[in-house]
Structure 1
């Protein structure tokens, strides 16, 4: 799993250790430890996405997801590369990092990785079991593979894009529920996101 720069690796490590009393930088000894990867994966088995996002207490209510449907763009940029592997790129210079870190994780499937990293459960970013369940569902439908992530970003590459506008719009609405900022601080409308999903093989998610 590609996790980006030295700073990005530290962010991943901080998220992993912050609630673990057995690790340096964690809470006081005696604090209940966080769930194990096996426990997170078990919790994910009972989730059906995206509808079960509403079970998370931190989820944005559907009535507060107010991005406009928008008009289908006349010209859609993208293609095979799309947003690409952004976690390996310096956002200030738009150039690849001279060095990136790759984690070797004992997961059977790429969609299990958030469970091993205890990824998420802050601000609008769902807990790890919700990431696992969402990525598992998209893997089954679109061949989606989690390739890179850092402290607040995921890069997912897909084998199959939505086949028509209706499917693309439905997928865009799913992604909006999962990661509101993909529209609200990104492409600004459901239609714009959907159009990109039909033409690109990279998906980008970012949580503030």
Structure 2
């Protein structure tokens, strides 16, 4: 007489998703410091001075989860699948790829805009400042109200070079956002020329602080084209004109980028 074989229980989708989330957060093994949003920049300065690695402000819990998701999306030990469709990314692999990038020439090869032509006449200066303070460390703020978040996470990455942050976080390569190696090459070039340092990064935005603003209108005009090629929405959905953007670059120590 045959016996019925019991049907295995259906997996619980919520339990499976929660288990994957636990693995995802555990994979992001970098040291983490948590502070009130109002204290984020001061704490970042303190951590930077300590020279235990490069600190980067991530934002709140949801922002940290998005960073962890991007960090491990191609890791089969996190997703639970045994099928490898691509080789998992690593910081070393991405940094090696970044070292081969010719910046900004390679940026313009993939961008929808072109650099300004040699000898091109400079446009009239942009509109007078509105009186509003340019964006600063927005990664520590509520996107709707602009108020400091109640709680902000800062990751400390095993490098002393801020431009390497996208490689250590595997950040980029989705939608219109450049690949991690292009981020690294861009940030390295801007550090060499303008003292740019990556201070904040979350799921889709980046806060960069510069120590040396463009020294004149021509340099600001060239830089505005580079940054627009890198992140078109900063002009197309933001300041509205390249002249206004160039003017902003000459009066602000902070650059803000976002990608849809």
- Please report the TM-score for the alignment, with normalisation by the length of structure 2: 0.71
* Cα distance, 1:26–1:42 mapped onto 2, change above 3 Å: farther
RMSD: 1.9
Rg larger in structure:
2
| Contact preservation (8 Å) 1:70, 1:192 | no
| Contact preservation (8 Å) 2:125, 2:243 | yes
| Contact preservation (8 Å) 1:71, 1:191 | yes
* Residue 53 in structure 1 maps to residue 107 in structure 2: yes
* Structure 1 residue 36 displacement after superposition: 1.3
* Cα distance, 1:186–1:119 mapped onto 2, change above 3 Å: same
Q: Output aligned runs, 1:1-208, within 5 Å.
A: 1-23=56-78, 25=79, 28-54=82-108, 59-62=110-113, 71-77=124-130, 82-208=134-260
User: Secondary structure of 1:90's match?
Assistant: coil
* Structure 1 residue 28 displacement after superposition: 4.0
Q: Which digits, 9 at most, give the CA deviation of each residue in 1:162-203, with x for residues without a partner?
A: 011110010000000000111111101111111010000000
* Cα distance, 1:110–1:78 mapped onto 2, change above 3 Å: farther
In the aligned structure 2, how far is the partner of 1:162 from the partner of 1:15?
Answer: 33
* Cα distance, 1:20–1:180 mapped onto 2, change above 3 Å: same
Pairs aligned (count): 198
What stretches of structure 2 of length at least 5 have no aligned partner? 1-55, 115-121
In the aligned structure 1, how far is the partner of 2:189 from the partner of 2:131?
Answer: 24
* Cα distance, 1:168–1:42 mapped onto 2, change above 3 Å: same
